[in-house]
Structure 1
Amino acid sequence: MSDTMQQEGDDVERPGRDVQVGCAHHSRLYRDGVLVASDLPLTELAKHRGEPDTLFWVDLLAPTAADLRTLVPLADGEVELHPLAIENAAAGSQRPRLVRYRDHSLLHARAVRVDDRTGSLASTRVAVFILDRVLITIRSDDGFPLAPLLEAWDDIGALTKRGVGFLLHALLDQLVDGYFEVLDDLDDRIQSVEDELLEGTGPTREIQLQSFALRKDVVKLSRVVLPMNEALSALLRPGSHAAYDEIVPYYQDVYDHALRATERIDGLRDTIESILSTSLAMQGNSLNEIMKKLTAWAAIIAIPTGVTGYFGQNIPFPGYDEPWGFWLSAVMLVGLASGLWVSFKRRGWL
């Protein structure tokens, strides 16, 4: 190591410049496209700042603003993390977007998943500081696992020597792949509701409640995916990375996947609206059938009511004061009512 590099390392080790955080953290050090070390203490990692062909990644899990301020020594000597960037990364309430500062960028994103306990959607806030040789990720919780991401970085191999843009691409690819896993789950749930509706195996109210819950999850997912498209589009603008010409096809691939996720969200939203419309139409048809049946039974009941009312008048009628008069009225009640019942049954009203 040169005298200048040794002097920088000594500066890092001085009191007040130690890189210590109180939250769980992970790290990786790459040199010339080769993984040199993993999970080094941040103070040790900072000693390699500025070395040629070296880049490193740091991940913090649910850090505080004070934890983020300790990351400043990890940045290159000419780079100072913007105070607003540190504040926004600590707050974690930003919608997915890319914010550019003078010499670094901050990407706000969200990872989504299906909660195994509740079956509803859950999200993890992910903030990413993007520097020329440093990538810092900040996760609000461990809902976004690191194992698949580390495997993806192992697969890209020597591409890491071309800058953090390729590390960022793998991270974005993992995020977007998570969107498709959620979309597949929503698609299966919607298909199940459709089957219950068409087969008539589920109560109408339960089907409507499931449809409303699905629509709520689709809206929640769209609030993540749609802004993410804008952030990915911003990454495709010229000059966003030193290796811009080389990284564009990779970012374009992720951007195309995000657009396809958006199209699927629109399709799921239309399907849910169709389920609700079909449910209401079937409910209206069922109500019409019930009204027809009630009308038919009312007509059947009206016949004996009319006959008994007619014979209840104080006027002589055939069979008056005769036993066969009673049987005549009984035959008329049963015969006319049975005739109406057969007629309505043939028409499908009963």
Structure 2
Amino acid sequence: MAFIPSLGGRRGRNPVSAPRPTPARKSEYVVDCAVYVDGKRLPGRWTHTDAVAEVRSRGEGFVWIGLHEPDAEQIQGVAETFGLHELAVEDAVHAHQRPKLDRYESNLFIVLKTVRYVEHESPTTANEIVETGEIMAFLGKDYVVTVRHGKHSGLHDLREELERSPERLSAGPAAVLHGIADWIVDSYLAVSEAFENDIDLLERAVFAPRNPVGAEQMYLVKREILELRRAVMPLANPLRRLAEGCSPLIPDEVRSYFRDVDDHLTTVSERVTAFDELLTTLLDATLAKITLQQNSDMRKITSWAAIVAVPTMVVGVYGMNFDFMPELKWKFGYPLVMVVIFTACLVLYRIFRKNRWL
């Protein structure tokens, strides 16, 4: 059946005659484990061993098992059942990987970064704007194993959406991988749109007469956009390889839809690049305004120091204990000295004001 990406209305699942598996108790790290035949989920709860045995005994369908932050011991049984490569399993456990696509003898291993926009009152006061996580996927002929790191990257809604479109899941595990990639890139678009509003607010704040944005806050926003860039940019090569058919595990009818995801990623990449360049310009403008403000402050300090130097000098002269000083015993001497000091200070003040130092 052809792979159809568009979703219609809600579709009921037709009952499928299948032996009901033995109920399995879910582990903390196993989010869900399901068997799909002809795009429809078989009823019941499955362990990964029972699920793969069911699929291979039928000779059709596939298993989708979702894991959340398993450790090396917890994932070992899944790795042995599906024949996952030990290097890929190690990457899946330890996380903190860049987006990549590794091809092994019987499966593919792909790492995708998830992002979430952190709500805040203003980008000028926020401590965090973008939160990242990871989803790793092992893709085989009759299985897809997803390993999730992070609290915001749950696939429950995506799984339900795919299950409402059996024609999509009928294309096999590659349809699940496409759904995950498409969902993640769509989240990139949503985050970039929210980020664009923040940057517009930041731009207005930077060029406001009384700038409330400091260099530290600009560096924080710059760091957040770089974090988004590290999630988006490296994914281009894996998606392009999937679209070009790097493995027979990706059917021809699915490859074209990876091209569509790649196009959306290109849009996000262009946005992020533009954001990065604009933030660099805003950061330079902020530093320039800070430098100008510091120069202005230094001119004011220097001007007042020059004005204060006049009375300091005069008073210092008269503070020397000599018997013979100009007009020392003249009764108008003190008022005259005060007038001279005031006049000199006023002249200096007017000069500095005229030159815009004060």
TM superposition score category, shorter chain reference? 0.7 to 0.9
Secondary structure (helix, strand or coil) at the match of 2:54 reads coil
Matched with 2:85 is 82
Q: Aligned partner of 1:61: which letter?
A: H
Residue among 131, 141, 162 paired with 2:140: 131
Could you tell me which residue of structure 2 aligns to residue 148 of structure 1?
Answer: 157
Q: Tell me the amino acid that sits aligned with residue 288 of structure 1.
A: N
Map of 1:104 onto structure 2:
107
Q: Which moved more, 1:18-27 or 1:32-41?
A: 18-27
Structure 2: distance between partners of 1:185 and 1:272: 15
How far 1:58 sits from its partner (Å)? Answer: 1.3
CA distance in 2 between counterparts of 1:229 and 1:316 reads 86
CA displacement, residues 19-58 of structure 1 (integer Å, 9 cap, x when unaligned): 9967323133332233443643445423431335523311
Question: What residue in structure 2 maps to residue 95 of structure 1?
Answer: 98
For residue 169 of structure 1, report the CA deviation from its aligned partner: 0.9
Which is helix-richer, 1 or 2?
1
Q: Which runs of 5+ in 1 are unaligned?
A: 1-8
Aligned-partner SS, 1:292: helix
Rounded Cα–Cα distance in structure 2 between residues aligned with 1:64 and 1:328: 89
Pairs aligned (count): 329
Q: Deviations over 1:247-300 (max 9, x none)?
A: 223111211222232223322322332233222211221122223223332343
For residues 45-88 of structure 1, the C-alpha deviation after alignment (integer angstroms, 9 at most, x for no partner) is 2343133552331112223444434336865xxxx433444344
* The one of 330, 337, 347 aligned to 1:339: 347
State which of 24, 42, 45 in structure 1 corresponds to 2:30: 24
Partner amino acid, structure 2, of 1:214: V
CA distance in 2, matches of 1:20, 1:272: 47
CA contact (8 A) 1:62 1:140 kept: yes
1:119 deviates by 3.1
CA distance in 2, matches of 1:156, 1:277: 50
AA paired with 2:347? G
One of 51, 54, 59 as aligned partner of 2:61? 54
Deviation at 1:166, TM superposition (A): 1.9
Q: Is residue 104–residue 130 contact of structure 1 (8 Å, CA) maintained in 2?
A: yes
TM-score when normalising by structure 2: 0.75
Q: 1:34 to 1:340 in 2, by over 3 A?
A: same
Provide structure 2 residue ranges, at least 5 long, that are not aligned to the other structure. 1-18, 121-126
Change in Cα spacing, 1:67 to 1:329, as seen in structure 2 (3 Å) is closer
Asked whether 1:348 is paired with 2:321, we answer no
Cα distance in 2 for partners of 1:309, 1:72 equals: 88
Three-state SS of the structure 1 residue aligned to 2:168 is helix
Find the counterpart in structure 2 of residue 269 from structure 1. 276
Q: Compute the TM-score of the two structures, normalised by the length of structure 1.
A: 0.77
Match status 1:178 vs 2:181: no
Q: Percent of pairs identical after alignment?
A: 24
Q: Bigger shift: 339-348 or 272-281?
A: 339-348
Tell me, in whole angstroms, the C-alpha distance in 1 between the residues paired with 2:80 and 2:41. 22
Matched with 1:3 is none
Residues 153-184 of structure 1 deviation map (CA, whole Å, 9 limit, x = unaligned): 14544122122222211101122223334434
Q: 1:30–1:37: 8 Å Cα contact kept in structure 2? A: no
* 1:215 paired to 2:227: no
Alignment-mate amino acid for residue 283 of structure 1: I
Code of the aligned partner of 1:108: V
Q: Does 1:232 align with 2:239?
A: yes
Supply the AA of the counterpart residue of 1:95.
R
Residue identity matched to 1:298: A
Kindly indicate whether structure 1 or structure 2 has the higher relative contact order, using CA contacts under 8 Å at least 6 residues apart.
2
**Residue pairs, 1:170-319, within 5 angstroms:** 170-199=179-208, 207-241=214-248, 244-304=251-311
Partner secondary structure for residue 60 of structure 1: strand
Relative distance call for 1:19 and 1:237 in structure 2 (3 A) is farther
Secondary structure at the residue paired with 2:55? coil
